[in-house]
């Protein structure tokens, strides 16, 4: 049912209403979620709510040194896993083996970034990197907001998601996990536009890439609303704090 609701929601927000009505919808949404638009076009410039959701920056961000946040959002937690368990928020964990679809050799550093409905929904490369592999997991679309996370274990591993295996210039491997949620069933990736999420009768699949390289800060893709990005690796050298984060701010050393 949640997947069907998400598909319907996606169609509704894609509708381009008459200009006066669309302006009212956009203005109401911006006001309700207190969305700052100083780096974006005016709300009147978006011809659908989806266009507003997926708005792009018109003012370039400056990137701090090191490994940067791929998105705007809120860091909910970060630490080193134990028995290949990570935690979404304090007291609630998720299974890394189930999340990634394989068993890592070592414990992993992890970082969870939640994107709320008010956040900028595009995501970018956190460093110069290659994308080596993509795994798609067709699964549920539970909410992953704080209220839901506080009630349930393992939500990230139970939800539809895309896992990217990435390699830094140094050769170090890390993983980026893009987690779907109710009303956030759609995720897009600019380096491979054939990737489709929350489709009827879908199934898990995996793809390898030989020549996908991205520069630090380069556009990677977008959620068609907000959700969660998880970053995991053997030795991420994390330098961050729980709380608000902006795309371009450092979250780890190179």
Q: Which residues does the annotation mark as catalytic?
A: 72, 124, 227
Q: Strand 73-80 and strand 122-124: pairing?
A: unpaired
Cα 113 to Cα 168, 200, 207: the distances in Å are 20, 28, 25
Contacts 24+ apart (CB under 8 A), 92-97: 92/149, 92/150, 92/152, 92/153, 92/155, 93/153, 93/154, 94/153, 94/154, 94/155, 94/156, 94/157, 95/154, 95/157, 96/232
- What is the rounded CA–CA span in Å between residue 166 and residue 49? 32
Q: Which residues of 223-253 are buried (b: 16+ CB within 10 A; e: fewer)?
A: bbbbbbbbbbbeebebebeeeebebbbbbbe
Which of helix, strand or coil describes residue 102?
coil
Give the chain's largest Cα–Cα span: 57
Cα 151 to Cα 139, 142, 145, 155, 190: the distances in Å are 19, 12, 10, 10, 34
Q: Strand 109-114 and strand 73-80: pairing?
A: antiparallel
- What is the rounded CA–CA span in Å between residue 187 and residue 221? 7
């Amino acid at each position: 049912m949640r997947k069907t609701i998400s598909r319907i929601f996606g169609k509704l927000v894609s509708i381009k209403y008459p200009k006066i009505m669309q302006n009212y919808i956009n203005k109401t949404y911006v006001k309700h979620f207190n969305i700052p638009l100083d780096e974006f076009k005016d709300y009147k410039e978006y011809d659908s709510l989806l266009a507003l959701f997926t708005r792009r920056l018109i003012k370039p961000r400056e990137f701090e040194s090191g490994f940067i946040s791929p998105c705007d959002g809120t860091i909910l937690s970060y630490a080193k896993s134990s028995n290949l368990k990570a935690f979404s928020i304090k007291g609630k964990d998720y299974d890394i083996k189930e999340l990634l679809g394989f068993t890592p050799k070592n414990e992993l550093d992890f970082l969870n970034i939640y994107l709320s409905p008010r956040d900028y929904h595009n995501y970018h490369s956190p460093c110069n990197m290659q994308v080596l592999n993509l795994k798609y997991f067709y699964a549920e679309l539970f909410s992953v907001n704080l209220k839901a996370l506080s009630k349930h274990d393992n939500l990230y591993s139970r939800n539809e998601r895309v896992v990217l295996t990435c390699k830094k210039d140094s050769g170090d491997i890390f993983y980026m996990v893009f987690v779907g949620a109710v009303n956030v069933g759609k995720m897009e990736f600019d380096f491979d536009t054939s990737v489709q999420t929350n489709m009827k009768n879908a199934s898990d699949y995996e793809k390898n890439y030989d020549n996908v390289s991205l520069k630090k800060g380069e556009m990677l893709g977008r959620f068609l609303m907000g959700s969660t990005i998880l970053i995991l690796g053997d030795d991420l050298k994390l330098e961050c704090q729980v709380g608000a984060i902006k795309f371009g701010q450092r979250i780890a050393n190179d």
